[in-house]
Amino acid sequence: MKFIKMHGAGNDYVYVDCFSQPVPENLPELARDISHRHFGVGADGLILVRPSEVADARMQMFNADGSESEMCGNGIRCVAKLVHDHGIAVKDRLKIESGAGVLDLQLSVGQDGKVDRVTVDMGAPILNAPDIPTTLAPSGPVINVPFMVTLPTNHHLGNAKMTVEATCVSMGNPHCVIFVDRATDELVLELGPLIENDARFPRRVNVEFVEIISPTEVRQRTWERGSGETWACGTGASAVCVAGVLTGKTERRILNHLLGGDLILDWDAETEHVMMTGPATEVFQGEWGMS
């Protein structure tokens, strides 16, 4: 099976062009095996680029643990680059079908004629608690809701319980945004998985730890549902943009610094849609499963 390794701001996936080869079988198992950082190619997950009845292509995304997600922001920028650069649809505006609906993308082409940056209309955020889904509220938005986590005994973070303030947003996939003074390893790597798997998120959740630099600039670390800490998360950055406005901490347009690069987010007041702009990079191509 031929694959293309790509990343969006360091959020790296293995991409399979299913226009030119059949859809692989046992996708969750393949996602786990191919994502393994030592025994596989190494990636945050697997993304299939498939024909679509209603768009230029369809994106199907799996996390490193084999779970399927509705949407992937960094991933959809790379899907657009693959569709353009590999001749599937050579246009500077593309429609890509995802679990969050058919999204519109505007492609920027570099000197080499290949896509280097993409602006994605991520659609409108979903804020109603049951639709995120979370039980942190019976209905309506979840904004700065105190969220107590019980820590395992003798935990680095000290006492047995810790309370953070959660602002929850879905971009087709669920996000729990937490604004902190410093996004430390303890918070990201130890509190992250506890929140990811908390029963108050029936479909688990992606967790963003956000430092406010100014009303127009933030720094984000991400503990992703099904993949652990990633170097960037596009749907997460979109959720952070919305949460910043809902909590009064940021303006509608922000620059977000993630471990692997920067994203520009703009929650348009007219359309209520979040616009995300960022890089898309092809690293190498390979063949999987050569016996």
- Binding-site residues for substrate, in ranges, read 11, 63, 73-74, 173, 206, 224-225, 234-235
The pair of structure tokens assigned to 250 is 């940021």
226 sits near ligand API (criterion: CB under 6 A): yes
121 burial via Cβ count (<10 Å: 0-12, 13-18, 19+): middle
Sign of the dihedral defined by the CA atoms of residues 232, 234, 240, 241, in that order:
positive
* C-alpha distance from residue 24 to each of 1, 2, 66, 266 (Å): 8, 11, 14, 36
Tell me which stretch binds ligand API (CB under 6 A): 95-103, 161-169, 221-229, 278-286: 221-229
Q: For the segment 9-68, give every residue that binds ligand API (CB under 6 A).
A: 11, 63
Q: Of 98, 167, 170, 173, which one interacts with ligand API (CB under 6 A)?
A: 173
Residue partners of 184: CB distance under 8 A and separation at least 6: none
Task: From 249, 185, 176, 172, select the one nearest 218 (Cα to Cα).
Answer: 249
Output 115 or 155, the one with its CB closest to ligand API: 115
**Whole-number minimum distance, CB 261 to ligand API, in Å?**
12
Cis peptide bond upstream of 22, omega within 30: no
Output 69 or 134, the one with its CB closest to ligand API: 69
* Residue from 78, 168, 176, 233 carrying the catalytic annotation: 233
Residue 72 annotated as catalytic: yes
Output 96 or 233, the one with its CB closest to ligand API: 233
CB 217 within 8 A of CB 258: no
Q: Of 72, 126, 162, 183, which one interacts with ligand API (CB under 6 A)?
A: 72
Helix axes 234-246, 73-85, angle to 10 degrees: 130
224 sits near ligand API (criterion: CB under 6 A): yes
Q: Of 234, 244, 260, 278, which one interacts with ligand API (CB under 6 A)?
A: 234
**Whole-number minimum distance, CB 35 to ligand API, in Å?**
12
Q: What is the DSSP letter of 126?
A: B
Output 24 or 75, the one with its CB closest to ligand API: 75
C-beta neighbour count of 139 within 10 angstroms: 8
119 sits near ligand API (criterion: CB under 6 A): no
Catalytic positions are 72, 233
Contacting positions for ligand API (CB under 6 A): 11, 63, 69, 72-75, 173, 206, 224-227, 230, 233-236
